[in-house]
């Protein structure tokens, strides 16, 4: 029995430059991680008043941008919309990248990476963060099992047919994994918002709408990122593997979901501004406007660039017929998510505590700007995400099976 020879991919100048860029990002990231691990969080600009900064922003953003996995898997396996099946593998790959990138960021943020295992051993069932940790762990395991058939069908495993058969059997679990993934993902996406909702001493963030906004924003932007990834793969490989009608329908879905998110966001602002959901809300908003660029980030970053422009690009036929506009819209929507997570995380902590048991009342607002080491860690995480995506495109059958036993 002769094995199928592995075709060698020609290294083009563009691919070489791309590889050098990824290597530089990874090099900066490794150096920054080493600095954090050896010197501790003292190399950051985090403080007792603002303990969460750039890294948590990236963590929350990566989880939201990876939400296309559970959304599109639910569409295919629960609602039986098979026309979206070709994009599920890309969605799961993007989801895996998003969640592992988030965990990689947390490794630096926790300060004691040697204790990363504590939440799984020392259960604090009263903590929202513990619940999020368990949900993300379970969901990452689900994503791994969902993506295992794709890995087993790569050319590398052609010499071991048993691995392909195992992957085929795992694929039969896809409908059950889709249901479990949908429930677990919705649970932890909402819990991420609830983390800020229970911060009673932060008057502008203590509100029950936070979980809803986190869920809706993730459902709106996650599929758009997957759609953009499909277009980028098509441009790089020169092969159209997914119908543009399918990708445009995903864009339209994201556009409609962004409109829902816009409604929730503006209603939340109206309640906060005009009705005063909690005492101190008005003074907190005034302080944000005075000491931070929160207002500019909200109206320009979140609303205009992050929602209104993508909605136009996704829903207006004149624009959504051009794939470049759809990719641009997905990029802007992702930018809006990052700005939102920054505003929620950092801007909310800038407002001083109105009451802190056992300590003196903090009267002055906090201040924060990321250090060079913090930016270096983020560069490394971005390099990791680009590396995994590139290897997935080059080495894995993201669109069709390469073996003899079809799995879908």
Q: Which two tokens stand for residue 212?
A: 């809803």
Lookup result for tokens 């922003």: 57
Residue range 163-169: mean pLDDT, rounded: 74
If you write DSSP's letter for every residue of 250-295 in order, what string do you get?
A: HHHHHHHHHHHHHHHHHHHHHIIIII-SSTTHHHHHHHHHHHSSHH
Q: What percent of the chain has pLDDT over 70?
A: 88
Longest alpha-carbon distance in the chain: 77
Q: Give helix 244-270 / helix 210-237 axis angle, nearest 10°.
A: 150
Q: List, in sequence order, the alpha helices (H) in 66-127.
A: 68-77, 88-109, 118-121
pLDDT above 50 (res 3) = no
Higher-scoring residue by pLDDT: 196, 19:
19
For the chain, which residues make up each domain, given as ranges?
A: 41-356+375-395
Q: List, in sequence order, the alpha helices (H) in 172-280.
A: 174-197, 210-237, 244-270
Query: pLDDT (tens digit, 9 = 90+) per residue, 29-71?
Result: 999 999 999 999 999 999 888 889 999 999 999 999 998 887 8
Lowest mean pLDDT among 4-18, 73-87, 250-264, 352-366: 352-366
pLDDT at 239: 85
pLDDT at 156: 76
Cβ-contact 224, 210 below 8 angstroms: no
399 by Cβ neighbours in 10 Å (0-12 / 13-18 / 19+) ranks as middle
Radius of gyration of the chain (CA): 22
CATH fold for domain 41-356+375-395 = Formate dehydrogenase/DMSO reductase fold (1.20.1630)
Q: Which two tokens stand for residue 315?
A: 């829903």
164 confidence band (pLDDT: 50, 70, 90)? confident
**Rounded alpha-carbon distances, angstroms, from residue 116 to 77, 109, 110, 122, 139:** 34, 11, 8, 11, 17
357 confidence band (pLDDT: 50, 70, 90)? very low
Cβ-contact 407, 153 below 8 angstroms: yes
Reduced to 3 states (helix: H, G, I; strand: E, B; else coil), residue 8 is coil
Q: How far apart are CA 163 and CA 149, in angstroms?
A: 9
Q: How far apart are CA 359 and CA 363, in angstroms?
A: 12
191 by Cβ neighbours in 10 Å (0-12 / 13-18 / 19+) ranks as buried
Q: Average pLDDT, whole number, for the chain? A: 85
pLDDT at 404: 38
Query: pLDDT (tens digit, 9 = 90+) per residue, 200-240?
Result: 556 677 677 888 899 999 999 999 999 999 999 999 888 88
pTM listed for this prediction: 0.88
Q: What are the contacts of 305-309 at 24+ separation with CB within 8 A?
A: 305/332, 305/335, 305/336, 306/332, 306/333, 306/335, 306/336, 306/337, 306/339, 306/340, 307/258, 307/261, 307/262, 307/265, 307/333, 307/336, 308/262
Residue range 328-353: mean pLDDT, rounded: 89
Q: What percent of the chain has pLDDT over 90?
A: 45
Residue range 377-383: mean pLDDT, rounded: 97
**Range among 255-269, 355-369, 390-404 with highest mean pLDDT value:** 255-269
Cβ-contact 181, 146 below 8 angstroms: yes
């Amino acid at each position: 029995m002769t094995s199928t020879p592995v075709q060698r991919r020609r290294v083009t100048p563009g691919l070489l430059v791309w590889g050098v860029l990824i290597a530089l990002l990874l090099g900066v990231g490794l150096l920054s991680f080493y600095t954090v691990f050896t010197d501790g969080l003292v190399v950051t600009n985090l403080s007792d008043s603002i303990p969460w900064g750039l890294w948590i922003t990236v963590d929350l953003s990566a989880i939201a941008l990876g939400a296309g996995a559970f959304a599109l898997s639910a569409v295919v396996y629960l609602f039986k919309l098979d026309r979206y099946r070709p994009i599920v593998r890309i969605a799961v790959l993007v989801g895996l990248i998003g969640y592992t990138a988030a965990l990689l960021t947390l490794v630096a943020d926790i300060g004691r990476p040697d204790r990363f295992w504590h939440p799984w051993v020392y259960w604090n069932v009263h903590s929202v963060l513990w619940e999020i940790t368990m949900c993300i762990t379970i969901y990452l395991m689900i994503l791994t099992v969902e993506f295992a058939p794709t890995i087993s069908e790569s050319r590398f495993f052609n010499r071991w047919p048993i691995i392909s058969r195992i992957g085929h059997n795992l694929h039969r679990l896809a409908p059950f994994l889709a249901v479990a993934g949908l429930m677990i993902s919705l649970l932890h996406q909402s819990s991420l918002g609830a983390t800020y909702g229970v911060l009673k001493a932060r008057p502008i963030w203590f509100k029950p709408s936070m979980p809803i906004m986190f869920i809706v924003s993730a459902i709106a932007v996650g599929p758009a990122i997957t759609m953009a990834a499909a277009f980028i793969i098509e441009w790089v490989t020169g092969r159209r593997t997914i119908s543009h009608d399918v990708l445009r329908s995903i864009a339209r879905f994201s556009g409609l979901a962004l409109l829902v998110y816009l409604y929730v966001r503006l209603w939340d602002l109206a309640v906060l501004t005009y009705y005063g959901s909690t005492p101190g809300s008005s003074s907190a908003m005034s302080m944000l406007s005075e000491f931070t660029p929160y207002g500019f980030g909200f109206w320009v970053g979140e609303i205009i660039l992050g929602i209104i422009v993508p909605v136009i690009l996704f829903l207006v036929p004149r624009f959504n017929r051009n794939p470049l506009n759809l990719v641009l819209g997905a990029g802007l929507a992702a930018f809006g998510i990052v700005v939102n997570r920054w505003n929620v995380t950092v801007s909310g902590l800038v407002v001083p505590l109105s009451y802190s048991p056992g300590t003196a009342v903090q009267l002055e607002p906090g201040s924060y700007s990321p250090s060079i080491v913090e930016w270096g860690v983020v560069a490394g995480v971005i390099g990791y995400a680009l590396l995994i995506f590139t290897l997935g495109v080059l080495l894995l059958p993201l669109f069709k099976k390469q073996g003899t036993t079809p799995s879908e």
